[in-house]
Structure 1
Amino acid sequence: MSRFRDQLIRFQKKNYWRNLKHVRENLSYNPSLIKYENEYLSYLKTYEEISNKNELVKKVIASDLVYQGDYHTLRQSQRLTLRILRDIHEKRDIILLMEMFHAADQKYVDDFLKGNLTENDFIRKIDYGRKWPFSWQSWSSILYFCKERCIPVIGINSEHGEGLKSIRNRDQYAARVIVKTLLRYPEKLAYVIDGDFHISPNHLPKEVNDLLKLLDNPVRHLIIYQNAENLYWKLCKEDREEADVLKINENSYCVMNTMPANKIQSYLNWLEFSEDAYYPVKREWETEGVEGQGITIQEIIVSIASILEFDLPQNIIEVLSIHYADDYHFIDHIHTIKGIKGKIRLIKEKIIKGEAFLLEYEKDGEPRYLIYLPNSNINMAAEEASHFVNAVLRGPLKKSSDAFDRFYKNVITECLGFFGSKFINEKRKSHSENSIRILLGQIKRGEYLKLDPVIPQTAKYILQHFYLERQTTDQLAFQEKFQSIYESKSSTPTIFSTQLGYILGNKLYYAVKKGKFPLSNVREYLRDPFDDKRKAYYTYLDISERLKQEKAVSQY
């Protein structure tokens, strides 16, 4: 185990156990739920082998019934549903069965999918806030995907009660709905989304199997778990924590798409009625309750600097201000800051697009920093924290009039930001050359119905850039090919350079972690303002060449 990797794992364990401690402090002791949880955990003590996305998708397609576990407060958990549906909807007819809807509200679900109810009316009629008090935004993309492709959605939930008996009653009720669906639509794939604990083989699947045995109607079933913490720590001991899909046994898999600490953090945030720790809904509670217990941007900054073995200037965090999307006076404040008036239009565009950013400026001759986070997730917060560390170490930037240099300086900046963000969430994904080719194929086949045209165009530019890198290092060749893009006033050069930086930063992280690339070099990059003409460009090519053999780590 490399020293750097050892530091990262210790950091993740520290955050995980701290978050778990806070969850336990905020929950009353519930022996019924603990028993139900332990029954679930008994099936996740080990795994059979490392698997991959393709094998999992093949198993899903070959099944009659799939149970996917969901951690309701973790947005990444719902994103997995959407990714799998995208991968299989052209190969199988699907019916989606969801815990988030009560079976008694099926009429309203059908009306919404048929376009007979607006989103607001639908939410009101099903009493969403009371029956399913989780972020609508996390789930709405799944529903609209089904709506656009005429995929039926069926509710399997029922009213809650107290104790273990109530939980088992809900499993039994859901099982009856699932079995009726299987009998009515035997040719379709029944895809069930239910809470993590419910999909344990001795919970909902057992209830379904018992009914199917009575009816002499066996089906091919598959269970998909997500982010089992004990399996992640087991992978760390085996130096295999980069695995994103585990085969538990022939009928069950586990997808690992976030870090254990981040999973628990999402629950702490939900307890605070906030979608994440960096966007407090009730500002007066910022230093109290659960919100104050989760990891903060300031702590992320200190952790990143510590892992990189940097001592930041004393009191530097005190000159950092953090603003959120609910700060309605933010733009007024921006207008009062000297030296950034030329950036107001760009700032407003970023806010409208829901993007995070770091601003650097001076006040009374001293450096000042500002981080803006929209409805941020932990990746955004960690990336801006990394940008802050970079900004402090390299000092004030000189304004460059050369579009070529500005482009590659941004590539390096985004590379370092992505690199540092993976200290907090190693499962964060970037594209790779192969995934971009797949994306363009999906776009061509019409799998993305609503897409900004700048995305496929930028994807093509990235592939062209990689191709040119393999042919030459001559800057004139790149200028001839891309100069009009470097100089464009549109968002294209920013998206283009950011994605190149993300791809490089992702590969750089794993190379450093494996001891294949010196951390000392990364420390030098962080301190370098790259003011010398063409230095950022040649640094990019140098890193790319040295990482040529480093395979992109895919995540599902």
Structure 2
Amino acid sequence: MRASLALHLALFRRQKAQIARVIEGQTAAFRAYEARYRRRTSEYRRVLPAHAVSQQVRASDVVYVGDYHTLPLAQETYLDLVEGVRESERRVVLALECVEGRHQASVDAYLAGRLAERVLLSRLGLGPGQGSGSGPRALLAYAKRHRLQVVAIDRRAQGERSLELRDAYAAERIARALRAGDQPRVLVLVGQYHVAPCHLPAQVERALGEASGARSLVVYQNAEGVYWRLAREGKVGAAQAVELPDGALCLLNASPVVCQQSFLDYLEAEAGDSPLGERGATERFRELASLIGRLAGVSVGRWLDDAEVVTAADEDALVRIQQRGRFTQGELAQLRRHILSRESCYIPRARTAYLASLSLNHAAEEAAHFVRHCAVGDAMDAPRGASDAFYARCLEEALGFFGSKLVNPRRGCVGTGEWALRFAQARGVERQIAAFVLAHKAAEVEVPHEAVKLLPLRKDRLFHGVSHALGYLLGDALYQGFDQGLVDRTEVRALFRNPLEDPRLTYFDWVRRLSR
């Protein structure tokens, strides 16, 4: 197995375990439901050209499209399929899992122009900042713009039979739409597991009756088993769609790692944060670097074209970084661990920003690091003793967080109160990090000359975790001072240009300055 594929697969497994820890209480029925889906999507028969997918959609009466709810590209692809048949001779109906059936009257009123979008989204439980992009809002807006009927097919259900009950409810509503006298074509958008032929499609067949003769098509998106098989065969990128042994199709428009990340980003999203979109990551990074550079008084224009932006979606992320700088085997191993830790970073030697998350906050933070690199050059990556390296990293983290706050002032920072709570409740490394952070913050005020004795210099995870936390705290204080007029632009510019010849002194100078 290629090293790049092995890393991508390792990241997938790491994130899968992380998601499993978040999603608690999976029932035996859910596990069986998932297993049936995975068996159906473990292999593929042949690669298909894009036009073959369109032909099969046009030849079907009902098309079940698998959705990954937090991945905008999944909904965009669904709308692409709708667009391909919208102007055919048959009326098109959208059957959407993202809307519960109890809201059907509100949806109908919105589509008829009798209900404002704002009111509809409120009734659907989509508050400010939700329902944007290619989620429910875009799907419903598309339907209204093109005067398409929407059938809300979800319902609330709990317990062992929840999936079965939801499928049965959706099936009845889909079957009712298919029975209309003008024989519309129904395109269903529903969670990926539901579209396995033995799940929702089977329920619809039962609801319609054996004599219906309705032609159905299942279209998965980025099924993991199919994707990794293609990856091992070196066909990812070349294959846009494949046909599975049972005749279902699978579209390949994003890696399973990206799908997972969209969910993790959704869980971890901070106030004011927003997704970049994989295709716009580089362009957005450059915009943010230019913005932060102007405030910092650092000219970044001539360096931007040479800057590289790599995301976790890039299977060859580590290879691309390695090609842009000289790294020892130990340093490459450290970079690999960093990628697996799902943390973004800026690598000065490679002039590369690695974005573990396609979020505005991550991109802005690494853009600030890039601006800093443009200002001080090789001094940013200069070799230092352990103590100086610790405080230098605190300051670099502070400037990164400060830069992200310039872009998103609503971004929160874990304060000492939260660190105290983590110390009381957490275990292992997280608790140790909290202990070091709290001890260092106390020493900063009372006995700053003793603080250097409280540095975790021998263990990488503690070194990075504690310097990261202290840096964020300083960066947040720096932004608050700047926002309140206590720190002026000249001082900020000087800090961005400071080569940190004595990082410990600089760190404590700013701590004292901002704690007055």
1:213-224 to structure 2, matched below 5 A, reads: 213=209, 216-224=211-219
Q: Which residue number in structure 2 is paired with residue 421 of structure 1?
A: none
Separation (CA, whole Å) in 2 of partners of 1:106 and 1:21 = 37
Q: Which residue number in structure 1 is paired with residue 111 of structure 2?
A: 113
TM-score (norm 2): 0.55
The offset of 1:364, in angstroms, is 9.6
Alignment CA distance shift 1:266-1:44 (3 Å)? same
Q: Which residue number in structure 2 is paired with residue 101 of structure 1?
A: 99
Q: Kindly indicate whether residue 120 of structure 2 is the aligned counterpart of residue 122 of structure 1.
A: yes
Separation (CA, whole Å) in 2 of partners of 1:299 and 1:205 = 32
Separation (CA, whole Å) in 1 of partners of 2:313 and 2:59 = 46
Q: Which amino acid aligns with 2:138?
A: S
The offset of 1:123, in angstroms, is 0.9
Alignment CA distance shift 1:62-1:308 (3 Å)? same
Alignment CA distance shift 1:184-1:312 (3 Å)? same
1:327-406 to structure 2, matched below 5 A, reads: 361-363=374-376
Q: Which amino acid aligns with 1:145?
A: Y
Q: Which residue number in structure 1 is paired with residue 231 of structure 2?
A: 236
Q: Which residue number in structure 2 is paired with residue 66 of structure 1?
A: 63
Q: Kindly indicate whether residue 172 of structure 2 is the aligned counterpart of residue 157 of structure 1.
A: no
* Structure exhibiting the larger radius of gyration computed from Cα positions: 2
The offset of 1:135, in angstroms, is 4.6
The offset of 1:303, in angstroms, is 2.7
The offset of 1:128, in angstroms, is 3.6
Match for residue 195 of structure 1 among 191, 197, 201: 191
Alignment CA distance shift 1:185-1:146 (3 Å)? farther
Alignment CA distance shift 1:104-1:141 (3 Å)? same
CA contact (8 A) 1:160 1:170 kept: yes
Q: Which residue number in structure 1 is paired with residue 325 of structure 2?
A: 310
Q: Which amino acid aligns with 2:226?
A: L
Separation (CA, whole Å) in 2 of partners of 1:175 and 1:210 = 9
Deviations 1:416-447 (A, max 9, x none): xxxxxxxxxxxxxxxxxxxxxxxxxxxxxxxx
Q: Which amino acid aligns with 2:318?
A: S
Separation (CA, whole Å) in 2 of partners of 1:200 and 1:298 = 28
Instruction: Look up the SS of the partner of 1:138 in the other structure.
Output: coil
Q: Which residue number in structure 1 is paired with residue 53 of structure 2?
A: 56
CA contact (8 A) 1:305 1:312 kept: no
Instruction: Look up the SS of the partner of 1:150 in the other structure.
Output: coil
Instruction: Look up the SS of the partner of 1:107 in the other structure.
Output: helix
CA contact (8 A) 2:361 2:404 kept: no
CA contact (8 A) 2:121 2:131 kept: no
Alignment CA distance shift 1:359-1:209 (3 Å)? farther
1:74-473 to structure 2, matched below 5 A, reads: 74-91=71-88, 92-128=90-126, 135-139=131-135, 140-163=137-160, 165-213=161-209, 216-242=211-237, 243-249=239-245, 251-273=247-269, 303=318, 305-308=320-323, 310-311=325-326, 317=347, 361-363=374-376
Separation (CA, whole Å) in 1 of partners of 2:233 and 2:377 = 53
Separation (CA, whole Å) in 2 of partners of 1:202 and 1:276 = 37
Deviations 1:215-235 (A, max 9, x none): x21201100011111111211
CA contact (8 A) 1:109 1:122 kept: yes
Alignment CA distance shift 1:113-1:241 (3 Å)? same
The offset of 1:325, in angstroms, is 5.2
Separation (CA, whole Å) in 2 of partners of 1:217 and 1:23 = 41
Deviations 1:147-166 (A, max 9, x none): 11111111011122122x11
Separation (CA, whole Å) in 1 of partners of 2:346 and 2:187 = 51
CA contact (8 A) 1:48 1:248 kept: yes
The offset of 1:259, in angstroms, is 1.0
Alignment CA distance shift 1:192-1:302 (3 Å)? closer
The offset of 1:306, in angstroms, is 4.5
Q: Which amino acid aligns with 1:147?
A: K
The offset of 1:172, in angstroms, is 0.5
Separation (CA, whole Å) in 1 of partners of 2:313 and 2:98 = 34
Q: Which amino acid aligns with 1:94?
A: V
- Structure 1 unaligned spans of 5+: 280-295, 338-356, 376-556
Q: Which residue number in structure 2 is paired with residue 22 of structure 1?
A: 18
- Structure 2 unaligned spans of 5+: 278-309, 332-344, 381-395, 409-516
Deviations 1:12-47 (A, max 9, x none): 112111111211222325122211100111211212
1:515-534 to structure 2, matched below 5 A, reads: none
CA contact (8 A) 1:269 1:276 kept: no
Instruction: Look up the SS of the partner of 2:217 in the other structure.
Output: strand
The offset of 1:111, in angstroms, is 1.5
Identity among equivalent positions (%) equals 24
Deviations 1:382-416 (A, max 9, x none): xxxxxxxxxxxxxxxxxxxxxxxxxxxxxxxxxxx
Q: Which amino acid aligns with 1:126?
A: L
Alignment CA distance shift 1:249-1:56 (3 Å)? farther
Q: Which residue number in structure 2 is paired with residue 551 of structure 1?
A: none
Separation (CA, whole Å) in 2 of partners of 1:52 and 1:125 = 41
Separation (CA, whole Å) in 1 of partners of 2:165 and 2:31 = 17
Alignment CA distance shift 1:18-1:276 (3 Å)? farther
Separation (CA, whole Å) in 1 of partners of 2:179 and 2:346 = 65
Instruction: Look up the SS of the partner of 2:6 in the other structure.
Output: helix
Deviations 1:307-328 (A, max 9, x none): 427336999748999997579x
CA contact (8 A) 1:171 1:203 kept: yes
Separation (CA, whole Å) in 1 of partners of 2:346 and 2:255 = 29
CA contact (8 A) 1:221 1:251 kept: no
Separation (CA, whole Å) in 2 of partners of 1:364 and 1:200 = 54
Instruction: Look up the SS of the partner of 1:170 in the other structure.
Output: helix
Q: Which amino acid aligns with 1:82?
A: L
Deviations 1:59-103 (A, max 9, x none): 101111110010111122111112212222122421000001111
Report how many residues are paired: 328
1:509-520 to structure 2, matched below 5 A, reads: none
Separation (CA, whole Å) in 2 of partners of 1:178 and 1:225 = 18
Separation (CA, whole Å) in 1 of partners of 2:218 and 2:312 = 39
The offset of 1:272, in angstroms, is 2.1
Q: Which deviates the most, 6-15 or 254-263? A: 6-15
Instruction: Look up the SS of the partner of 1:198 in the other structure.
Output: helix
Deviations 1:332-353 (A, max 9, x none): x99xx9xxxxxxxxxxxxxxxx
Q: Which amino acid aligns with 2:97?
A: E
Instruction: Look up the SS of the partner of 2:31 in the other structure.
Output: helix
